[in-house]
Structure 1
Amino acid sequence: MFPTLDSVLALLAMAFPLMGSPGPAIVAITANGAAFGIRAGLPFLFGIYAGVFTVLCLTASGVTGLLLALPGVGPVLVMAAVLYMLYLAYRIATAPPPGMHGTDDPDPPGFGAGIVVSLTNVKAYTVFTALYAGNILIESDPIRDTLTKLAILTCVMLFVNGSWLVFGGIFAGFIRSPRIGRAFNITMAILLLVSVALAVIPR
């Protein structure tokens, strides 16, 4: 049995705004592309891919719910996210302006950094739980239903995150003034911190 077109479109209609809206990981990807360029930002993007896929699998299997139910796990995850995002924001804010990189510049955040950002992204766990629980594609087969949603959400994740990296790199490519470029990097770092605050502060 296969999912109906209407059920797939309903999942996509819910997934794109939730997964594509600016949260800590999205802002980090965009800022990384803007500060260091698309090519240099690819290792970070691939790390994001690996981390987000891991979170998707953990959420689909129910492991995420079990872990977050343990006393103290939630606050530790939030603290780890905040501390690492502070470090990442610093790296972005102090990066050379777009188009002004030299051979002695520090290396941009890489694959491992992307994984850490994904695994400590509090928003992702909430979003994926809502997407899995709020959509049923194959009622008669829960396992195939879960695997189908995992495949669809993985495709959405690949497209959305890659698009934000390209957007950041292309947008920064139009900046020619070192002063404006520096201000742009600092602005992206501030937006990253704001996105983290919005994700972790209860509302």
Structure 2
Amino acid sequence: MISFIGAVFLLIITPGPGVLSTAGVGAAFGFRAGFAYVLGLFIGTNLVALAVVTGVAAVVLASPVIRSVLFVLSTGYLLYMAAKIALAGTKTAFEPAARCPNVWDGIALQAVNPKAYVVNTTLFSGFVIFQDALLTEMIFKFVAVNAIWIPIHLGWLWVGGALKRMELPKATQRLINVAMAVALVLVVVLAAAAQFL
């Protein structure tokens, strides 16, 4: 059980699209505005976990065509989120990001987030905690994962929001937003490299 809890913590806290976009949304739009986005991520990650547990994800991802389509969609969506974060509050964009990502944006991100599928598959199939009590184990895992997921993501949102509250000069805030967006793009590049190597 301790190894499961440790794995949950390490897999969730490491930078991925959800964590990076949470910090980026906090930095670009503030804690309060970003809370709806984190709620969407929460709903989305639990939907992904349900898809993994029920086997729906395995059936869908067994098709190379569907995997390729989902990869293109996830790459496009993550780049869109990166642009939204990078361009928040700027006048240099063709269409400045005036609206903070909302609940639906969070759900959509998790639906196409490759890390969400990998993490949930690892956690829900890689650790046996209650031998011969599958339902008890699934309930325990959902509770444990969410008990760790929630404070980690709210913490990252708070860090981003703290940067926003510092009322840094606009150029510095823009630099932070761009740095967050670049980190998200790097995750996309790493995922693309893993897909084709």
Asked if Structure 1 and Structure 2 have the same fold, meaning a TM-score greater than 0.5 normalized by the shorter chain, the answer is: yes
What residue identity is the alignment partner of 1:153?
V
1:61 to 1:90, Cα distance in 2 relative to 1, 3 A:
same
2:128 aligns to what SS in structure 1? coil
1:22 aligns with 2:15: yes
Find 1:53's aligned residue among 46, 56, 60: 46
1:201 aligns to what SS in structure 2? helix
In 1: Cα distance, 2:141 partner to 2:149 partner = 12
What residue identity is the alignment partner of 1:167?
V
Match of 2:153 in 1: 161
What residue identity is the alignment partner of 1:84?
Y
Deviation at 1:122, TM superposition (A): 0.4
In 1: Cα distance, 2:190 partner to 2:60 partner = 22
Deviation at 1:199, TM superposition (A): 2.8
In 1: Cα distance, 2:191 partner to 2:155 partner = 22
Deviation at 1:105, TM superposition (A): 7.2
Match of 1:65 in 2: 58
Unaligned regions of 5+ residues in structure 2, if any?
91-95
In 2: Cα distance, 1:160 partner to 1:169 partner = 14
Q: How many residues are matched?
A: 190
In 1: Cα distance, 2:84 partner to 2:137 partner = 41
In 1: Cα distance, 2:59 partner to 2:11 partner = 23
In 2: Cα distance, 1:65 partner to 1:145 partner = 20
Deviation at 1:189, TM superposition (A): 0.9
2:89 aligns to what SS in structure 1? coil
Deviation at 1:47, TM superposition (A): 0.7
Whether the aligned pair in 1 keeps the contact of 2:29 and 2:164 (CA below 8 Å) is: no
2:64 aligns to what SS in structure 1? coil
What residue identity is the alignment partner of 1:71?
P
> What TM-score does the superposition give when structure 2 sets the normalisation length?
0.90
> What TM-score does the superposition give when structure 1 sets the normalisation length?
0.87
Find 2:81's aligned residue among 68, 72, 88: 88
In 1: Cα distance, 2:181 partner to 2:89 partner = 13
Deviation at 1:69, TM superposition (A): 0.8
1:79 aligns with 2:98: no
Match of 1:41 in 2: 34
Structure 1 stretches of 4+ with a deviation exceeding 3 A read none
Identity of aligned residues (%): 28
1:122 aligns with 2:114: yes
In 2: Cα distance, 1:159 partner to 1:45 partner = 11
In 2: Cα distance, 1:156 partner to 1:62 partner = 24
Whether the aligned pair in 1 keeps the contact of 2:38 and 2:103 (CA below 8 Å) is: yes
Whether the aligned pair in 2 keeps the contact of 1:23 and 1:199 (CA below 8 Å) is: no
Deviation at 1:173, TM superposition (A): 2.5
Match of 2:130 in 1: 138
Deviation at 1:68, TM superposition (A): 0.7
Deviation at 1:145, TM superposition (A): 1.4
Whether the aligned pair in 1 keeps the contact of 2:85 and 2:97 (CA below 8 Å) is: no
